[in-house]
Amino acid sequence: MGAPQERSAGGTVTQAGPPTSTYLSMTQRSPQARFDHRLVLGSSRRGIQRAQRSLISAAQQRGYDHASCFALRLALEEALTNAILHGNRNNPRKKVTVRYRVDSGRVVIEIEDQGEGFDPQAVPDPTRPENVEIPAGRGIVLMRAYMTEVEFTAPGNRVRMTYVRPTVRG
Amino acid sequence: MAAAESLLRVAEEDGITRIEFVDRNILDEANIQQIGEEITRLVDETPQPKVLISFQNVDHLSSAALGTLITINNKIRSKDGQLRLANIDPRIYEVFVITKLNRLFQIHDSEDQALASFT
């Protein structure tokens, strides 16, 4: 099958799993971004679906195509699953806050859970041959492949994902 | 026993179990768990399982679904069986490529090719 190798959905060549300890990095502080949508979700599947509907509908209204919506939906799915499962540990009393902004050229999504955070550099790279049969850990790989930029903020309970629309990529 | 409605369509022919998903989206954690349990049951029932999973109707999946497929693959291999995947939409196939799982799974363009590949 002639599918592309390690190519992001938007056309940028990415490292889908660099085998070094700098595989994921974390910043101390993200610059402020202005968001025009904010959702507070419980730790449930219904919340994920609500956020997906909201984001995809906003993206479609801005004319984002099927490939872009596929990328956004998948990245949001993975980030929210991580937030609920690993961040909030399925605690029904804890919330996940999703903020996003959809412009004609880019989408910025920020997800914050109420967990203790984690060190992204400590996550084993699931694409390495010795890890390929382990049935977990692929969410962050997919987020990084499908988004233009993925940035975790210390202590690791907040992630910001930026998706630059392919047609306006310079 | 009041079992939940199956999320799979299953057909047996010539010793090969052919599986298709009912849903187009294989995202939902609860659904993925049920799918995993249903397939595991089928694998457990067969001494040397030969399983073909068709992705014909699938247009979304997630890392949780990939994890379940890996578990199923490990289980089938532990029983000296064979797993084949087929009919994967190019956009979904890209998810397998990004995660390098196209190297772990035997993926075929069509079901006929997948069926012919069983030994």
Q: What average pLDDT does range A20-34 have in this prediction?
A: 55
How confident is the model over A38-57, as pLDDT tens digits?
A: 999 998 888 999 999 999 99
pLDDT tens readout for residues A118-158:
988 888 999 999 998 888 889 999 999 999 999 999 899 99
The arithmetic mean of pLDDT across residues A71-89, rounded, is: 95
Angle in degrees, 0-180, between the axes of helices A66-82 and A45-61, rounded to the nearest 10? 150
User: What are the domain boundaries of chain A?
Assistant: 32-165
Residue of A nearest to B106 (CA): A1
Write the DSSP assignment of B42-99 as a string of letters.
HHHH-SS-EEEEE-TT--EE-HHHHHHHHHHHHHHHHTT-EEEEE---HHHHHHHHHT
**3-state class (DSSP) for residue B118:** coil
Residue numbers in chain B where pLDDT is lower than 50: 1-2
Question: Residue B109: which of A1, A6, A127 has the nearest Cβ?
Answer: A1
Q: Name the CATH superfamily for A32-165.
A: Histidine kinase-like ATPase, C-terminal domain (3.30.565.10)
pLDDT band at A27; cut points 50, 70, 90: low
How much of chain A, in percent, has pLDDT values that exceed 70?
79
Task: Measure the CA–CA gap between A18 and A24, rounded to whole angstroms.
Answer: 9
- Find out if CATH 3.30.750.24 is the number for domain B8-116: yes
Express each pLDDT in B49-73 by its tens digit: 999 999 998 988 899 999 999 999 9
Show residues of chain B in contact with A7, CB under 8 Å: 94, 97
Laid out side by side, the sheet with B50-54 consists of B8-13, B16-21, B50-54, B82-86, B106-108
Q: Answer whether B101 touches A (CB < 8 Å).
A: yes
Report, as an integer, the average pLDDT of A75-95: 94
Using pLDDT thresholds of 50, 70 and 90, give the confidence band for residue A15: very low
